[in-house]
């Protein structure tokens, strides 16, 4: 018997395992479907796409997307300790303050930017030191990238020449502009949430971690969650929770687990022979993500990440924490408004000194660079649904990318801006020829290019959103509405997707949620145990 059973050892699960096990009088169980994060590739920042479609990846895909030429868009998700923080590009980005104020104004007290800033700061060990916006004593190491490539510097210089302002810190209140991204790395290697939050406390006697357990359903007595059932190989396992079951399985699998457990829309569960427990119509709805597309050019000079994974560079990374393999690939970028009247930027750029195409599934075959633009505040909405009563079957995922005309307008303007930056000196001087660009700068040509090349930027959210209306899945304290002893704490509770990469926001949500679970005031918190 455990006090808390946490499902999913991704970013939120690792934070909660650390924070809840601070109390020596409670027993905490963390359950992960994947294995350990001992895979050497996880620690090599530049090699993150080499983990795609491996045992460390859930390897999801959308249903045919109507605005992406009917393609099934590949959706990688981490299946290992650390979850997607063991698989991502390590960009530390909080989003825009207006994103969180929007959550609060929608009926979620305690979730505005001023409410969350202390949690962002307390989670962070920023190498630039403590300030109004940054912390220096948290477990999550945040630092400037060590592989500042010549091509990325050229991108920044060209973007400034094209009229974009310089921005030295995207997390200090003002997002617009271009510059270098800070990353979650430690000594040049990946600093996942497993590295930062879980491993430093793995010797706590009141914390148990079970890997390779695929959770099948939540167990209930009446409307109270009492534990989970799972399977490891051919062994059925049950784990009991005296206080709470906490779902941290992410935007695709947290709603899937609720539906498999009878929580959702009766008319969809009964045909699958799943006995409904609670009618909660919002489960799986409100799916949002950042769709991305851009331009790719070849470079004659051997200055990109092509063939960087070699013995010499590997030895330099492991021995010195330096060299091109410390690159997070998306080294630089920025934010822009494509039109007036917006509350915040609607486009984010990611620059890679590499030929990153085919959704990262096929390695580039030559030196080059990519400039991507993603829609930051999509109006399109998708959903997650069950297609089988078998808990090991993958859910149906429909993103409806670019379904809303505002999203298409933002994407066209964003790709056009990426084209302009690539055609501006000094970056233009490095480009020896196009590899994958629109046929022209017309709206029609850009939209056709986007349909053929659109991919995820790996930021799915919203499918168990917080709120107080009939379609809200959890209340503002992240308790599943209508049930007892069950919370969801991950990206699925976000009402809307923040303007930026979502790993830092998930960590802040989990930090605040730990206080909610423990009924502890923020001022009573202690610094989390992290990597010394």
Q: Which of 235, 253, 289, 246 minimizes the C-alpha distance to 393?
A: 253
How far is the C-alpha of 60 from the C-alpha of 463, rounded, in Å? 16
How far is the C-alpha of 130 from the C-alpha of 124, rounded, in Å? 9
Distant-in-sequence, close-in-space partners of 417: CB < 8 Å, separation ≥ 6: 162, 336, 338, 347, 349, 373
- What number of other Cβ atoms are within 10 A of residue 358's Cβ? 13
Q: Which residue pairs, CB below 8 angstroms and at least 24 apart, start in 109-114?
A: 109/476, 110/476, 110/512, 111/466, 111/476, 111/512
Task: Specify burial of residue 467 (Cβ count, 10 A radius: 0-12, 13-18, 19+).
Answer: buried
Place of tokens 């950042």: 290
How far is the C-alpha of 94 from the C-alpha of 197, rounded, in Å? 18
What is the DSSP track for 164-195?
PPB-S-TTSS---EEEEPEE-EETTEE--HII
| C-alpha radius of gyration, the chain, whole number | 22
Distant-in-sequence, close-in-space partners of 507: CB < 8 Å, separation ≥ 6: 11, 12, 15, 123, 140, 193
Q: Which residues are marked as active site?
A: 459
Q: For residue 299, what are the β-bridge partners?
A: 431
Q: Are 336 and 349 in contact (CB under 8 A)?
A: yes
How far is the C-alpha of 512 from the C-alpha of 426, rounded, in Å? 44
Handedness of CA 446, 452, 455, 461 (dihedral sign): positive
């Amino acid at each position: 018997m455990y006090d808390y059973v946490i499902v999913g050892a991704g970013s939120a699960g690792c934070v909660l395992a650390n924070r809840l096990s601070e109390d020596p009088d409670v027993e905490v169980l963390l359950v992960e479907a994947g294995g350990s994060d001992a895979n050497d590739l996880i620690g090599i920042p530049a090699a993150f796409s080499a983990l795609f479609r491996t045992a460390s990846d859930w390897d999801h895909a959308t249903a045919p997307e109507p605005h992406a030429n009917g393609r099934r868009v590949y959706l990688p998700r981490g299946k290992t300790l650390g979850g997607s923080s063991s698989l991502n590009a390590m960009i530390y980005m909080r989003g825009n303050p207006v994103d969180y104020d929007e959550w609060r104004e929608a009926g979620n007290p305690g979730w505005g930017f001023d409410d969350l800033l202390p949690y962002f700061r307390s989670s962070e060990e920023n190498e630039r030191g403590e300030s109004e916006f940054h912390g220096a004593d948290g477990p999550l190491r945040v630092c400037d990238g060590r592989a500042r490539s010549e091509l990325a510097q050229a991108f920044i210089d060209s973007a400034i020449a094209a009229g974009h302002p310089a921005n030295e810190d995207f997390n200090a209140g003002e997002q617009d502009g271009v510059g270098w991204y800070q990353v979650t790395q430690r000594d040049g290697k990946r600093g996942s949430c497993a590295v930062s939050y879980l491993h430093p406390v793995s010797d706590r006697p009141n914390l148990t971690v079970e890997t390779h357990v695929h959770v099948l359903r939540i167990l209930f007595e009446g409307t109270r969650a009492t534990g989970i059932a799972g399977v490891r190989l051919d062994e059925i396992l049950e784990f009991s929770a005296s206080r709470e079951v906490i779902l941290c399985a992410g935007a695709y699998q947290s709603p899937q687990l609720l539906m498999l457990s009878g929580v959702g829309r009766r008319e969809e569960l009964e045909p699958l022979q799943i006995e409904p427990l609670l009618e909660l119509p919002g489960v799986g709805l409100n799916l949002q993500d950042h769709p991305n597309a851009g331009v790719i050019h070849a470079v004659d000079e051997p200055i990109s990440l092509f063939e960087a994974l070699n013995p010499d560079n590997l030895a330099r990374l492991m021995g010195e924490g330096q060299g091109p393999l410390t690159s997070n690939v998306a080294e630089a970028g920025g934010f822009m408004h494509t039109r007036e009247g917006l509350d915040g930027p609607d486009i984010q750029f990611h620059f890679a000194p590499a030929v990153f195409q085919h959704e990262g599934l096929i390695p580039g075959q030559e030196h080059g660079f990519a400039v991507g633009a993603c829609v930051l505040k999509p109006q399109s909405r998708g959903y997650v649904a069950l297609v089988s009563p078998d808990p090991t079957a993958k859910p149906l995922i429909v993103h409806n990318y670019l379904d809303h005309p505002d999203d298409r307008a933002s994407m066209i303007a964003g790709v056009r801006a990426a084209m302009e930056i690539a055609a501006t000196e000094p970056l233009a001087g490095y480009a020896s020829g196009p590899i994958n660009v629109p046929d022209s700068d017309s709206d029609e040509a850009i939209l056709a290019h986007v349909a053929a090349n659109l991919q995820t930027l790996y930021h799915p959210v919203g499918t168990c959103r917080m709120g107080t209306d009939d379609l809200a899945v959890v209340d503002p304290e992240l308790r599943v509405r209508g049930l007892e002893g069950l919370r969801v704490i991950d990206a699925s509770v976000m009402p809307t997707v923040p303007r930026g990469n979502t790993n830092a926001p998930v960590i802040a949500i989990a930090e605040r949620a730990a206080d909610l679970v423990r009924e502890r005031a923020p001022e009573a918190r202690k610094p989390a145990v992290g990597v010394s």
